[in-house]
Amino acid sequence: MDVFERRAIIEERVTDHGEVQFADLAREFGVSEMTIRRDIEVLQSAGIVRRVSGGAIAVPGTAFEPSYGSRAGHAVDSKMHIAVAIAERLSPGETVILDSGSTVASVARAICGRGLGLTVITPSLTVATTLADEPDTTVILAGGIVRPGELSLIGPDAERLIAGYNCDVYVAGVAGVDAERGLTEYHPQEAAVKRAAVSAARRLIVGADQAKLGRVHLVNIAPLEAVDVLVTDASADHPTVLDVQTAGAEVVLVSSASASP
């Protein structure tokens, strides 16, 4: 695990639990407490945490959503394997909604060079620019308000545009997947755009690394029964994987090991 992934996981721990202890993190990652203190200092400089005696706490008012940069640096190999598996399940000529977020940004990169000739509808500036020059691909960018740092489009205009199309597939990135609460997200307006996408598509593919399984966040998107395919790097006996299968969805398990897709 490199320093960026370690710091992303520390940020996630703080945002989920409100506080962390230096000693606990040092044991978990197999590094010295001094190394963890340096990580915390970097996160404190970014305004994400506040250092206290023996550890750190979340900064009030951050809405407990990790930054896009930290999410993009977390589980990079797993996300690429997830992305390739999702790209392999898209058929030529389909109309596909590609979500915002770091996991689906990886899906956009995995689509490049496959010659699928997709029509892509997206609220993500990152996805749109990634696929803008892909041959035989039409990219429709949702209108709306740009979220700073996220480069996603939110608001009523984005929701209306997506809701106005009849799509084959929605490839979703979510913050949490839980048996009882279903798919959840941090940000209410992001969740509203995702709900519009769920309604607009015949098939829902969710890409989620194992850290998101069993998690519940602020806003509901859809029940677990809405999911057609879950692609994850979790193990076959993970409780949430079993719950998703019980709900009737296909589960595709990919490797989390570092390897070229």
**Mean model confidence pLDDT for the chain:** 89
Mean pLDDT of 12-24: 83
Cross-strand bridge partners of residue 184: 176, 220
User: Are 112 and 182 in a shared domain?
Assistant: yes
**How far are the Cα atoms of 28, 38, 107 from residue 88, in angstroms, in the given order?**
35, 41, 10
User: Are 87 and 181 in a shared domain?
Assistant: yes
Q: Domain residues for 245?
A: 75-253
User: Are 46 and 91 in a shared domain?
Assistant: no
pLDDT tens sequence across 158-181 = 999 999 999 999 999 998 999 999
Question: 145 CB contacts (<8 Å, ≥6 apart)?
Answer: 153, 154, 155, 157, 158, 189
Percent of the chain with pLDDT over 90: 66
Whether the predicted pLDDT of 18 surpasses 80: no
**Given this model, what pLDDT does residue 14 score?**
82
pLDDT tens sequence across 30-69 = 999 999 999 999 888 766 778 888 899 876 544 455 555 5
**Given this model, what pLDDT does residue 58 score?**
75
User: Are 144 and 48 in a shared domain?
Assistant: no
